[in-house]
Structure 1
Amino acid sequence: MKLVRKVAALLSVSAAAVAVGYAVTARPKTTEDSSLPPATSTADVTRGTVTQTVQISGTLGYDGAYQVIHHGQPGTLTGTPAPGTTIGRGGVLYAVANVPARLLLGGVPAYRDFADGMADGPDIRELERNLVALGLDPSRQITVDDHFTAATKAAIRRWQASWGWPADRRTGRLGQGEVVFLPAAVRVTGFQTALGGTVAPDSPVLTATSTNKVVTAAVGTDRQALLHVDDAVSVTLPGADAVTGKVMKIGRVAAAPGAGAGPDDGAVSNPGPATVMVTIAVTLPVGGPDLDQTPVQVGITTATHPDVLLVPISALLARPGGGYQVRLSDGAYLQVEPGLFDETAGLVEVTGAGLIAGRRVEVPAS
């Protein structure tokens, strides 16, 4: 009985309509001859692999959220990149009084000046790692550690020369606010201060995300067990073919479901299960549009059966007395037992006496 209910829920409306049409004459229509049988075609019974998936809604965006705080001198905001601009290592995030704040990669915030005689610290290690990555230590004189050395100063001077600064400004010193450490390259999303506005110390200047495309989806706790970190899923964008994604993170804190009031008596409707947020890494085809906050569908594989007989879902017909059958191209009916449904491909696994690959079954005409 459970199987019958499951199959009935999965069958498409068109398949059900055709099943009724096979059993009795269609209700007459004013523009059609009621004596005509429903139009049909045929399709092969095939052998292959069926994959059953669950579809959930998600949103395509970018991973991470950053707020950049200004730690330099107060002044007028004189330079900003356009929203959507990607800033990599060494790039300019913004400028105050024509003094650029450049991005370096690291997890420790820049909290002091970099100069001769400064105390050792992990921020120096981060700076030196970036100077080497930017190719500013061609003779490999820097030892990446917590100590500011003459080699560190020389690399900073090379960097300042690359900015077009004259020799007298290439001091080998970086004032606080001239560099900003963030974990990765960023994509600018907006500014807290308009160009020409005043920026005070310790005030937010811009917001950004990482450059990594991800899909976020709220998955009911009743389906949480279907997913694991590193699982492959399919992601379908509007008007595009599905691409493969990989589960990055599964939230550990469940959000309570929303509740709504009934239309008449104020009763609370059934809000469904609590949800956890799932983050999925995805790579889009090169040359596609720069999409953000775009609704997508995520397909989660729940079961796979290899080497089984497959027919189109629309070939399933209700059988008098219960169960399902297919009609062969020669007009004979065969009782079948449905297995897994692949609604994406429109196929269903079937077993039944006398059913073999290569036989043809009737389906609605397209």
Structure 2
Amino acid sequence: MRRGAVIAATAVLAVGGAAAVTVLADGFVLPGTETPAGAAGTLPAATAAVKRGDLVDRQTVSGALGYTGERTVPNNTPGTLTWLQAAGSVVTRGRTLYEVDRRPVVLMYGTTPMYRDLRYGVSDGPDVEQLERNLKALGYGNDLTVDDHFSPTTADRVLEWQDDRGLEVTGTVTPSTVVFLPGRVRVKEVSGATGDKSRSGKPVLTVTGTRQVVLVDLNVADQQLARKGAKVTVELPGGTSAKGKITEVGTVAQLPSTSGQQANPQQATITIEITLDDAKKAGGLDQAPVSVDLESEKRENVLSVPVEALLALREGGYGVQVVQGGVATLVPVEIGIFASGQVEVDGTGLSEGTKVGVPRS
């Protein structure tokens, strides 16, 4: 068990008459010797009961509310930005992300990027299947077989969709009209303004997923605090708190950015992601600072006493003053973790409910 700083009492040796009796400065006796309750200073000012239960040591770290899956959306068509979604907007399948020369750039769901034109005669591929799956989800696939082949039926459904969306009706889907992203997105940042010239490849939007999380840049030296699945408590802006759990633990350490100076390796951090049990409590805030109580160590079903019950022994180690039947006896103890004003103890004769000496409150 580990040892920590505690409130100490000084031990002295008192010899009376022909017999030697080992006594502490406050009249406490060592194991195996007893001092009658009537002797001056033999009993403590107050007592507390030994407790049995779980003891959890916690550490508080700083974090911020955020969203998962941040990425930039580059423009694939030179022209003038004529409309953009506002920061904070949520864009779903089939909706417009932004417009270039009044031509919509539409969001569709998928993990394969839009890297080529899709039209009748194109080679089979997963991007074709992605497109067909989206067309079906948008209501254009009653007679459409979703596979990796761009069929005449696929071309017909594309023509119908383009006409409804006000796009140029060509039967061809190009990277300038569709952006594939894994799901619905939240616009975090807009990189341009209406009227700006936007060249191909220039970022237009920064988007994230819509799942709100707490992000903590945890010092690598404290990474033992980050256990995937561990329960945490998050103190939110406004004084409210919310329960959550660690859902992702970064594996790549990052050094802090510096201005021309070499970064200190001891300041390296890993990012941990915390999912709130009730995300509504966060109120949709983004980048708001929070504090997170992480569980650094937990001991189950152990005995503990108030920290102030510990006494430093002259010969080393610690003890507690056990009070029973009007008699005070000092019992050496091994100590474990400290948490919430309690310390884990293990000593001969100690059990739940045993009275130990503490200072008067």
Fold similarity call, TM over 0.5: yes
Which residue, 337, 341, 349 being the options, matches 2:344?
349
Q: Which residue does 2:39 correspond to in 1?
A: none
How far 1:180 sits from its partner (Å)?
0.7
Q: Which residue does 1:67 correspond to in 2?
A: 72
The answer to whether residue 354 in structure 2 is matched with residue 339 in structure 1 is: no
Helix, strand or coil at the partner of 1:287 = helix
Q: Which residue does 1:150 correspond to in 2?
A: 152
Helix, strand or coil at the partner of 2:241 = coil
Alignment RMSD (CA, Å)? 4.0
Deviation per CA, 1:109-133: give whole Å up to 9, x if none.
Answer: 3234433333444422221232234
**Distance in 2, Cα, partners of 1:241 & 1:331:** 46
**Distance in 1, Cα, partners of 2:257 & 2:118:** 50
**Which residue type is aligned with residue 69 of structure 1?**
P
Q: Which residue does 1:250 correspond to in 2?
A: 250
Q: Which residue does 1:237 correspond to in 2?
A: 235
**Distance in 1, Cα, partners of 2:359 & 2:270:** 40
The answer to whether residue 97 in structure 2 is matched with residue 97 in structure 1 is: no
**Which residue type is aligned with residue 100 of structure 2?**
V
**Distance in 2, Cα, partners of 1:286 & 1:252:** 27
Helix, strand or coil at the partner of 1:273 = helix
Task: Give the unaligned 5+ runs of structure 1.
Answer: 25-39, 262-267
Q: Which residue does 1:280 correspond to in 2?
A: 273
Deviation per CA, 1:337-357: give whole Å up to 9, x if none.
Answer: 4322234xx433223344332
**Distance in 1, Cα, partners of 2:135 & 2:327:** 77
How far 1:253 sits from its partner (Å)?
4.3
Deviation per CA, 1:324-366: give whole Å up to 9, x if none.
Answer: 43676989575444322234xx433223344332356677899
CA contact (8 A) 1:83 1:188 kept: yes
Aligned in 2, Cα 1:150/1:247: closer, same or farther, shift over 3 Å? same
Which residue, 26, 45, 48 being the options, matches 2:50?
45
Which residue, 353, 358, 361 being the options, matches 2:353?
358
Aligned in 2, Cα 1:328/1:99: closer, same or farther, shift over 3 Å? farther
Q: Which residue does 1:206 correspond to in 2?
A: 205
TM-score, normalisation: structure 2: 0.71
Q: Which has the larger radius of gyration?
A: 2
- Which range is displaced more, 154-163 or 276-285? 154-163
Q: Which residue does 1:304 correspond to in 2?
A: 298
How far 1:58 sits from its partner (Å)?
3.2
Structure 1 segments, 4+ long, off by >6 Å, are 256-259, 327-331, 362-366
**Distance in 2, Cα, partners of 1:120 & 1:302:** 52
**Distance in 2, Cα, partners of 1:54 & 1:119:** 56
Q: Which residue does 2:118 correspond to in 1?
A: 114
- Which range is displaced more, 62-71 or 294-303? 294-303
CA contact (8 A) 2:245 2:276 kept: yes
**Which residue type is aligned with residue 147 of structure 2?**
V
CA contact (8 A) 2:230 2:246 kept: yes
- Which range is displaced more, 190-199 or 325-334? 325-334
Q: Which residue does 1:36 correspond to in 2?
A: none
TM-score, normalisation: structure 1: 0.70
Helix, strand or coil at the partner of 1:306 = strand
Aligned in 2, Cα 1:358/1:68: closer, same or farther, shift over 3 Å? same
**Equivalent residues in 2 for 1:314-329, closer than 5 Å:** 315-319=308-312, 321=314, 323-325=318-320
Helix, strand or coil at the partner of 2:278 = coil
**Distance in 1, Cα, partners of 2:209 & 2:360:** 49
Helix, strand or coil at the partner of 1:308 = strand
CA contact (8 A) 2:49 2:356 kept: yes
**Equivalent residues in 2 for 1:164-175, closer than 5 Å:** 172-175=171-174
Aligned in 2, Cα 1:360/1:176: closer, same or farther, shift over 3 Å? same
Q: Which residue does 2:30 correspond to in 1?
A: none
Aligned in 2, Cα 1:225/1:284: closer, same or farther, shift over 3 Å? closer
Which residue, 287, 290, 293 being the options, matches 2:284?
290
**Equivalent residues in 2 for 1:169-208, closer than 5 Å:** 172-208=171-207
Question: Percent of aligned pairs with the same residue?
Answer: 33
